[in-house]
Amino acid sequence: MERRLLFEHIEVPGIDTYNVYRSKGGYASVEKALKTMTPDAVTEEVKKSGLRGRGGAGFPTGMKWSFLAKPEGVPRYLVCNADESEPGTFKDRYLMEHIPHLLIEGMITSSFALGANTSYIYVRGEFFYIIRILEKAINEAYANGWLGKNILGTGYNLDMYVHPGAGAYICGEETALLESLEGKRGNPRIKPPFPAVKGLYDCPTVVNNVETIAAVVPIVNNGGEAYAAIGIGKSTGTKLISASGHIRKPGVYEIELGVPVEEFIYSDSFCGGMITDKKLKAVVAGGSSVPILPADLILKTTNGEPRLMTYESLADGGFATGTMLGSGGFIVMDETTDIVHNLYTFTRFYHHESCGQCSPCREGTGWMEKILHKILDGHGTKSDIDLLWDIQSKIEGNTICPLGDAAAWPVASAIRHFRSEFESYIAHSGNGIKQAATAQKATVNM
C-alpha cells in the first residue's frame, strides 16, 4: 500500500486551488511555525525528522540548514530546485502539477526557518505549463496573506518568485542552478565555498529539492519525531518514486521507505508487475546515474536478504553488487531489453548535457558515446570494452561536479553486470548484426 503523507489529499477534486487546499488543512504549518515557533525550533524539528535530500544526494536536510551562515545585514535565500531532469524522474513535476500549494507552503515555512525574505523556485524551462500553475498558486498565496509583508501579523516578510530554466540538465546541480539563476551559463562552481556561505549573489543560500521542501509541511505539522517513526533506520519518512519502463502501471507512488523492491515491482498497489508478463531483466533504481542492476541483485542482496526501498538496502554491496536510491527514478526493463542500447541512450544524454567545463567529462562522455555507437552499428572490437572501462574510470572523481560520476556509473555497471551483451555485439561485428540482438526497432540517430 502507498503511505500518503505528501499526497494525502492529492485525489481531492480542486486540490490545486487555494480554497480546497486550505479547507484540507493547508497552510497550517505556516501558522504553527510563524505564530508558535522560533526559526531554530523549525530547523530542530527537521533535524529530528531525519529527512534527507530527495533530489538524489540524500544529504540530511536539517544539517544542510544548520550550515547556513548568518552574518548581520546580509540577505539569505532559499532556492527550490525544481529543475527535475534526471532521466526516469518525474515526481516533482507531478507534485507541482497536482498540489502546487504544498510546495508554496513548504517554501514559506522553510524560508521562515532559514530567515530568508526572498525565495525563488527554479523550474526547468520545458515545464512552462507548471510555471503557469505555480504563478497562479503564488498569486493566491499573496491574495490570502501568506506571502508579502507582515505575514499573519508576525512581522515576517517574504516574497516568492518562479524562475524558468531553459533546457540544461546540469542546472539541477545546485551551484550550476545558482549560476543560471544569476543569468549565466550553467557551469558548476568549485566548492568550497558552499552555497550555505556563498550562494546566490554571493549570499548564504540553501538549495533544496521540491519533494524535500514539501516534506517540511508534515514534519512541522506533526513533529519531527512522528516523521522519523515512518520508514526504517536512517531512511525515514516517505519517498516519491517515479516508476517507468516495462511495467503495467507506470506513475508516481508515495511509499514508506522500507517497502521490498519485489513488492514494489509486482504488487498491484504499485507497478503491477511486468507489462507483458515477460521476465524482469534489470532495474535502474534511482535515476539514470545510479548503477543498473540485474534482476537477481535488485530483488535480493548477495546475503540473500530481500532488497528494500531504502537508502541503505539499495546501497548494500557497494557498487559491486548494489546501487543507490538516488532521486527515486525507477526504470524497469524486461528480458527483451538491449542493455547496450539502453546504455547508449544514457551516454548520449550525458554527452549532450555535459557543460564542457572539465576535460574528463566533456571529452570522455563524447568518446563513450562514439564507442557505444560504433558497437551498436556492428563495428565494435574486443578492445572497445576495456577502452570504455578505462574512460569511465578516468572521468569518475575527476570533475568539478557530480555529472562526471553520473556519466561514468551507468557505463561501469552495465559492463560489470552485462559484459556478455557487449561481447555478443562485438562477436557479430561486420555481419549486419545491428538489429539481431535487439527487440527494439532501433535506428541509431547520431
Partner 1 sequence: MDETNKIKFTPETEALMQSIIKRYPEGKHKSALLPLLHLAQMESDGWLSVPVMDRVAEILHLQPIEVYEVASFYSMFHTKPVGKCLIEVCRTSSCWLRGAYDIVAHIENKLGIKDGETTPDGKFTLRTVECLGSCGTAPMFQIGETFYENLTTEKVDKILEENKDRKTHTSYLDHSTFSQR
Q: For binding to partner 1 (CB under 8 A), which residues are involved?
A: 75, 84-90, 93, 118, 124-129, 131-132, 135-136, 138-139, 142, 161-169, 180-186, 201, 242-246, 250-252, 284, 288, 329, 331, 333, 337, 341-342, 345-346, 348-349, 352-353, 355, 440-443, 445
Minimum separation from the CB atom of position 197 to partner 1 (A): 19
DSSP string spanning 261-291? HHHHHH-TTTT-SBTTSPPEEEEE-SSTTSP
Provide the CB-side half-sphere exposure for 83 (13 A, CA).
Answer: 25
Cβ closest to partner 1, residue 284 vs residue 297:
284
**Minimum CB distance to partner 1 smaller for 278 or for 394:** 278
Candidates 267, 303, 292; CA nearest to 421 is 292
Identify which of residues 239 and 348 has a Cβ nearer to partner 1 in the complex: 348
Cα 248 to Cα 277: distance, rounded to the nearest angstrom: 9
Cα 390 from Cα 384, distance rounded (Å): 10
Query: Nearest approach, Cβ of 382 to partner 1 (angstroms)?
Result: 27
Q: How far apart are CA 145 and CA 27, in angstroms?
A: 11
Q: How far is the CB of 244 from partner 1 (least distance, A)?
A: 4
Which is closer to partner 1, CB of 219 or CB of 433?
433
Smallest distance, Å, CB 103 to partner 1?
Answer: 16
For partner 1, the closer of residues 220 and 343 by Cβ is 343
Of residues 182 and 305, the one with the C-beta less far from partner 1: 182
Closest approach of partner 1 to the CB of residue 404, in Å: 17
Peptide bond into 75 cis (omega under 30): no
Mention every residue, 6+ apart, whose C-beta is less than 8 A from residue 76: 68, 70, 114, 115, 116, 117, 203, 204, 205, 206
CB of 357 to partner 1, least distance (A): 11
For 356, the 3-state DSSP assignment is coil
Burial of 123 (0-12, 13-18, 19+ CB in 10 A): buried
